[in-house]
Copies of this chain bind each other. A is one copy, B any other.
């Protein structure tokens, strides 16, 4: 079959891959990455409502090889098929779905179980590997931005990509809250959910200095008070909605990253890295690469309430 078309030779000029304050105007490509163990319709509905030009957005998912993962896969598949056959304007540039090859270390994934401190290290290590697999295999030479978005983030503004990119930060996280029913007030209210966005403390540094090389610090556990300043606790509806703080640790619930940060090598350590792991270790690694993380205490996204 000597007549076959020559295989592709692709040339890319990396300095054309800009990461500007006005990414849509500059036609910058965004890769939205979601590790997905459960499918929530509200997540999907908000994803589809994102106002950034969909033809500049690629989606990629990584789904665990569990029964729950199978159900999530089927639900995602249905929605993707519907969307990509629908009106052009809504379609995304491409959709990649990866099925993991490793068993999840914790089959039961209810909130109480996965947040137990003794389960955290293996769980966070598994999450780190899943995020790295997704990142290393889907980041392309023309990607300008990576937007990490967990599958259980069920409410966020449709302008979130532009809003976050406007800060021109290497790494930037909104504040992740949760809606709940307050039994005393007999009304819905909101409360902090993600404690991984923080500013380091002397106590945490002292704790780390005394730890064994494989031990990790965790945030949000009464057994291990770190006295870090948590962005989750800085939300002030009366303050400037645009306030930005510098962070030393970040969460992955919603996180906009300049693709060059990843290309320089910043990934999610699945091992103790300065006694940090996964997204918190990522912020530290980026810092070692002279890339800084920021957070927006008054810009809220909402986590599903089980």
Contacts and interface: CB of A to CB of B under 8 A. Distances in A.
The count of identical subunits is: 2
Given A84-B7, A133-B264, A268-B265, A15 B95 contact: no
Interface in A1-54: 1-2, 4, 6-15, 17
A127 to B, nearest CB: 11
Interface string A66-105: 0000000000000011001101100111111111110000
Interface stretch (A135-143, A174-182, A240-248): A135-143
Contact of A136 (B98, B128, B263): B263
B270 A97 contact: no
A7 B6 CA distance: 23
Contact of A133 (B14, B288, B289): B14
Contacts of A98: 12, 14, 141
B268 A8 contact: no
A271 interface: yes
A2 B87 contact: yes
Given A65-B15, A101-B17, A136-B139, A269 B263 contact: no
Contacts of A263: 129, 132-133, 136-137
- Interface-centre pick from A9, A91, A100 (highest chain B CB count, 10 A): A9
A88 B4 contact: yes
Interface of A: 1-2, 4, 6-15, 17, 65, 80-81, 84-85, 87-88, 91-101, 128-129, 132-133, 135-141, 143, 262-265, 267-271, 288-289
